[in-house]
Every structure is written in structure tokens, then in C-alpha cells.
Amino acid sequence: MTTERYQFFDHNPILPDVVEEVKQSLRETPKRLPPKYFYDEYGSALFEQITELPEYYLTRTEIEILNENKEELSRTIDKSCCLIEYGSGSSRKVRSLIDAIDPRFYVPVDISKEHLHTSAKAIHDDFDSLHVYPTCADYTEAIQLPDAIDGAPRCGFFPGSSIGNFERDDASLFLVNLARDIGPGGHCIIGFDSRKPKAILEPAYNDTQGVTASFNLNLLTHLNRTIGTDFKPTQFRHHAFYDESLGRIEMHLISETEQTVTLDDERFQIARNEAIHTENSYKYSLTDVQELASKAGMSLVTHWQDSKAWFYVALLRVPDDIQSGDS
Ligand SMILES: C[S@@+](CC[C@H](N)C(=O)[O-])C[C@H]1O[C@@H](n2cnc3c(N)ncnc32)[C@H](O)[C@@H]1O
């Protein structure tokens, strides 16, 4: 059993699996690339820059909602619990939760290894009695959680509207797995970006400084470095738009030339102006949130929002009769 106050667990996806996943994604029509590969050390740093952009209202709005509702959170969530954060990034938002809940354990789960280590270490240094167990893993797969948290009540935290990166049906499957991680009677706190006019949504993904464009293009640089593709990032451009009927922002990389990309011995032809679909970001109405919770077999305890209803933070509860991942 782990007793140190800080321990790093590395369950990062192995390279042959990444290669296979990328090949399959590029064989599809239209071509796509999984958004989790935005995040190497540079991609994580670019995302942090995005969170500071004037157009990107999401981060500051969610932090404001969490801060304003600390007291209610502290009354609802078990003290001394284990807080598991999915896609923890800079671990910035969790600070007000740690203040409010005073958990015994914090398990930040993220695919971006170096950034995870730096952020988790800072939390360890800033919160004296907290046990911090960063876990580098892909949260779209089952996560192997540290043994040391066995038996502790758990609370899940999935901020940043990252739930919106899943297809709507996959979001409920993700929540079913999360509920198993959390166990009977546990809670989870999830951030949702609301459906709203194009005029607000589109600038958030098309900032004037071009940081989101660099973030999108970094996916290609990251894959070139890790699995040996030969994308030419300068021959692609960023494209993001809101599809109102589907309620989602789509991000694409558009090829500016006709080109061939090679991975191992496989060659992928990309036509001029062909798009590679890199990310969806689904937006949720309150009705969508309710439907998602009930599809995943959870109850929506309450939700909080900002004054403009641009963002929702929902508190969900896992039913008492669910089989936990421990059993
Ligand atoms: C949009 S950022 C959100 C960061 C932070 N939670 C926030 O709210 O500001 C998504 C985070 O999830 C991580 N991530 C993305 N896909 C992941 C996956 N499949 N498994 C684990 N982590 C993932 C990224 O590395 C990044 O830190």
C-alpha cells in the first residue's frame, strides 16, 4: 500500500496502440484525428494560453461558478474523500474544490505526462496534508486507480466542458464508467458549456491571436515526433465553426495542397482543401444535461450557472445500487 504523500502512476497508452489508432482514423472518410493527441507538453502550454484569451469565456466562467458555490459543495461532498479529476491539466480549478471539500486524496488523471507531473507537484506542495497520486492514463479507457484510495469515498471532477468532446452517446458511456470509479452514493461535478449564439461560440475557437490555430496544428507536430508521421503542419490551416443543428463546435485542419502522409508503410492521400476533423465540442442545454445524467443512470442533484447562463456546473450522484469498480 502506498503511504507517501506523492506518487506518480504511469499508464500512458503504448506507441503501437497510438499508431494503430491514428492509422484507423486516417483511413476513415472524412479523415479524423483523435483530440487527445493535442496534448503533449507544448499542446498543454498552448491550452493554458487559450484559457487566458478574452474570447475564451469558458475557464473564467467555470472558476467563478465554482468559487461562488463552494459552501454548498462543502456541505454535499464527503470530507476526507478522494477527489478524482479527469483531464486535470493545470489543476487550477480543483484548488477551490480542495479548499471547500478538504479531501484526503487527490488523483489527477491526464494523458499529458510532463504537464500532469508539474501541476500535481504544485498541488502537493500547496496543500499540506493532501495525498496526491497523479495518474497518466487515457480516460476514454478503463483507468487503473491507485490501490491507496481503496475504501475512501470518492468524488469525480470533470471540468472544462471536456465532456463535450465526446459524441453525445459516448458521453453517457463515459459517465457509466466514471460512476463505477466513484462507486455507490458518490458524487461527481461536471462542467458543461451551454448552447448559445454562434456569435459568442465561434470567436472562442477562432481567437484573433491565433493561439487556437497553433493548438490545432500542434496535433500534427506531436504525432510527427511521437509516431513518425510526416505531416507538414505549414501546409494546413485551422478551421472551426458552430453547427447549430448538432449543437457542436467542429475543429478541422484543412490541407492547403494535395499531399501524401506516410505512417510506417502506409500512405494517406490528402486532397487540396480536404479537411481532417480534429475535435467536436458539444454544447449542452439543461435538458441535455438532465437527459445525459438519466441515460448514465445518475441523478442530477443540482446545477449552478453564471448570470448569463453561458456555462453550467452540474452535481450528479451515483445510485446506491451501482456495482463499484472495486467489487
Ligand atoms: C480542455 S483541457 C481541460 C483542462 C482542465 N481540466 C480545465 O478545465 O481547464 C483537457 C485536458 O484533458 C486532457 N485529456 C484530453 N484527452 C484525454 C484523454 N483521453 N485521457 C486523459 N486526459 C485527456 C488534456 O491533456 C488536458 O489537460
Domain check: are 263 and 300 in the same one?
Answer: no
Ligand 1 centre to CA of 162 (Å) is 7
| Ligand 1 atom closest to 51 (CA) | 9
Q: 48: CA distance to ligand 1 center in Å? A: 11
Q: Are residues 273 and 290 in the same domain?
A: no
> Which pLDDT does position 324 carry in this prediction?
65
Coil, strand or helix at 2: coil
Q: Is 281 in the pocket of ligand 1 (CB under 6 A)?
A: no
- C-alpha–C-alpha distance, residues 124 and 220, integer Å: 33
Helix, strand, coil percent content, the chain, rounded in steps of 5 = 40, 25, 35
Same domain, 115 and 230: no
Q: Write the burial class of residue 26 (CB in 10 Å: 0-12 exposed, 13-18 middle, 19+ buried).
A: middle
pLDDT in tens, the chain (327 residues): 446 999 999 998 788 899 999 999 999 999 999 999 999 999 999 999 999 999 999 999 999 999 999 999 999 998 899 999 999 999 999 999 999 999 999 999 999 999 999 999 999 999 999 999 999 999 999 999 999 999 999 999 999 999 999 999 999 999 999 999 999 999 999 999 999 999 999 999 999 999 999 999 999 999 999 999 999 999 999 999 999 999 999 999 999 999 999 999 999 999 999 999 999 999 999 999 999 999 999 999 999 999 999 999 999 999 998 876 654
Residue 110 half-sphere exposure toward CB, CA atoms < 13 A: 29
Q: Is 112 in the pocket of ligand 1 (CB under 6 A)?
A: yes
Residue whose CB lies within 8 A of the most ligand 1 atoms, among 12, 25, 36, 62, for a mutation test: 36
**Residue bearing the CA closest to ligand 1, atom 6:** 88
Is the CB of 119 within 6 Å of ligand 1?
A: no
Amino acid at 136: C
Contact 212, 240 (CB under 8 A): yes
Atom of ligand 1 nearest to the CA of 110: 22
In-domain check, residue 322: no
Query: Are 161 and 300 in the same domain?
Result: yes
Residues 138 and 258 in one domain: no
Q: With a 6 A CB cut-off, is 162 part of the ligand 1 pocket?
A: yes
70 and 178, same domain (yes or no): yes
Q: Counting atoms of ligand 1 from 1, which one is nearest the CA of 36? A: 16
Q: Is the CB of 310 under 6 A from ligand 1?
A: no
Q: What is the CATH number of the domain that holds 158?
A: 3.40.50.150
| Whole-angstrom distance, CA of residue 98 vs CA of residue 104 | 9
Cell matching residue 32: 479524423
Residues 207 and 109 in one domain: no
* Cα–ligand 1 centroid distance for 163 (angstroms): 10
Let me know if 189 is exposed, middle or buried by CB neighbors in 10 A (0-12, 13-18, 19+): buried
Give a yes or no: residue 119 inside a domain.
yes
* One domain, residues 155 and 165: yes
Ligand 1 atom closest to the Cα of residue 140 is 19
Please state, in angstroms and rounded to a whole number, the distance separating the CA atoms of residues 215 and 50: 9
Would residue 306 count as lying in a domain? yes
Residue 323 lies in a domain: no
Q: Which atom of ligand 1 is nearest to the CA of 162?
A: 1
User: Are 184 and 261 in the same domain?
Assistant: no
Q: Output the pLDDT for position 24.
A: 98
Q: Phi/psi at 106 (nearest 5 deg)?
A: -130, 120
Q: What is the pLDDT of residue 12?
A: 87
Atom in ligand 1 nearest the alpha carbon of residue 47: 2
Residue 3 falls inside a structural domain:
no
**What's the pLDDT score for residue 2?**
46
Question: Which residue's CA is the nearest one to ligand 1's atom 8?
Answer: 160
User: For residue 267, what is the enclosing H or E element?
Assistant: strand 266-270
Which residue's C-alpha comes closest to atom 16 of ligand 1? Answer: 36
The 3-state DSSP class for residue 197 equals: coil
What CA–CA distance (Å, rounded) separates 142 from 134?
16
107 domain-assigned: yes
109 shares its domain with 238: no
Three-class DSSP category at 228: coil
Q: What is the number of domains present in the chain? A: 2
Task: Decide if 80 is inside a domain.
Answer: yes
Whether 184 and 222 map to the same domain: the answer is no
Q: Is the CB of 134 under 6 A from ligand 1?
A: no
Helix segments in the chain, DSSP class H: 15-27, 41-51, 57-68, 70-76, 94-101, 113-126, 168-182, 198-204, 211-227, 286-295
Q: Are 38 and 164 in contact (CB under 8 A)?
A: no
Residue-range definition of the domain harbouring residue 311: 54-197+284-317
Residues 274 and 179 in one domain: no
Q: Is residue 29 part of a domain?
A: no
